[in-house]
Every structure is written in C-alpha cells, then in structure tokens.
Amino acid sequence: STLAWAPDSETLSYISFDETNVPLYTINLYQGTCDPKDEYKLYPGQFSYKYPVAGENNSVVTLHSYDVSTRKTKDIALPDPLIEYIPRIDYTSSAEQLLVTTLNREQNRMEIYSVNPKSTVVKSFYVEESNAWISPTTYENIIVTPKSIILNSARTGYHHLYEYSLTGALLRQITSGDYEVKQCYGVDKSGNVFYQSTESGPLNRVVSKIDLKGKVTNLS
C-alpha cells in the first residue's frame, strides 16, 4: 500500500511519486476489432505515458504524513540516498510507529524503517541483502500483528517465516525445512500462524497452521 491511516485515524501517511524526469513512452492506437474505435480507422492515434525503461530515471518517491487536527503535512526524510522504491508502508498497533519498506535500484537490499509520522524521527528496523535480488514475496506479504511482524524471508535459500518484535528484534523462526512458504495468511489470538507451503512437494500446495510450540497441522 502507498497510503495508510494511523490506528487512531488522526494521521494519514502516504508516498508521493514525482515523475518529472521519467521519459515518455508512446504506443500507437488502432481501430481494432474486439471493441472498434472508429476514430483510428484511417489514422492511428497515440497514447503516451511515463515509463522508466531499464536504466532510465524512475519516479522520485518521498514519504509524508498529514495531521487531521492541524491540517499540516510533514515531509519525512529517509537517510539512505540510494532508496529508489518504497513498495509499502504499514502502521503497527501504535499511531506513532509506521513501518516503511524500501529498496535500492538493484532491489538486492531491503531496509525497513520505523518512523514516527508525528515527530518524523526515523530509525532502521530491519535490513536484508541478497547477492541476486530480494523476492517480492518478502516485502509484499509482511504481516503486522499487535505485538510483532512476520516476514517471509529467503535468507536460507528457502522462503520461511520469521517473527520480529516491534523494536526489530528476532523473536523466532516460525517455519523451517527444505520447502517454500508461498504465502502467510495471518495469525490468530492464540498465536497460531496460517500459511501455504510446498511441504508435500514442489508441485503441491498445502495450507497449514503452526502453533507457538512448533506443531504443524495441515488444513488442506
């Protein structure tokens, strides 16, 4: 997500995209047959849009917060000048903690920042690096619980679930083994984590739950 309301609904945090220096990409428009557009029957039209071909300028992304009470917007500066992507932002259970996930241009270094949108104080929360690239599974499927976050990391060569406290400390590795966790669905009040994996074979998908003691129950 590129915008998020604080739990108390007093602050809206959001990402801004400046496409000023992104080159235009143009495609031709024809009459077509499925949904004919007669205005292009004799002469094709054109559609142009901002598109960063590999190696060209990306949008410049910046982070901001809007205070509902004061109606003021604050700019939040992130410390790493190599950040080119902010794929998602998520509030924790606190209105004073926004988790901001960032990537460099090569997408082989992911850093999550803990941000106070009211004071604009920024602290590093979690860093993951890869010799190749960070899989989108890692940053697209972050689960935020009332007291922790769950990450799906491929740091061992297999995607597995890890739980971190809201201060960034590793609490536990939830799953392990020679298989892939494809998706995490969430956690219930008892601490059971629900996920989809290839535990029964790479061509198969099984939905399971794992409790706080590590006992796995297959649900499908």
Can you give the pLDDT at residue 30? 96
**In a 3-state reduction of DSSP, which class is residue 141?**
coil
pLDDT digits (tens, 9 = 90+) for 161-203: 999 999 999 999 999 999 999 999 999 999 999 999 999 999 9
Please enumerate in sequence order all residues whose Cβ is within 8 A of that of 87, keeping only pairs 6 or more positions apart, or say none. 101, 102, 103, 136, 139, 140
- Smallest CA-to-CA distance from 24 within 44, 46, 2 is with 46
pLDDT digits (tens, 9 = 90+) for 46-57: 999 999 999 999
**CA angle 81–59–65, rounded 5-degree value:** 70
Q: How far apart, in whole angstroms, are the C-alpha atoms of residue 85 and residue 140? A: 13
Q: How far apart, in whole angstroms, are the C-alpha atoms of residue 210 and residue 161? A: 11
pLDDT digits (tens, 9 = 90+) for 90-141: 999 999 999 999 999 999 999 999 999 999 999 999 999 999 999 999 999 9
The answer on pLDDT for 1 being more than 90 is no
pLDDT band at 76 (very low <50, low <70, confident <90, very high): very high
The answer on pLDDT for 64 being more than 90 is yes
Residue in this structure with the two tokens 């000048």, named with its chain if needed: 81
Q: How far apart, in whole angstroms, are the C-alpha atoms of residue 5 and residue 115? A: 14
Q: What is the mean pLDDT of residues 53-66?
A: 96
DSSP per residue, 174-220: ---SSS-EEEEEEE-TT--EEEEE-TT-TT--EEEEE-TT--EEE--
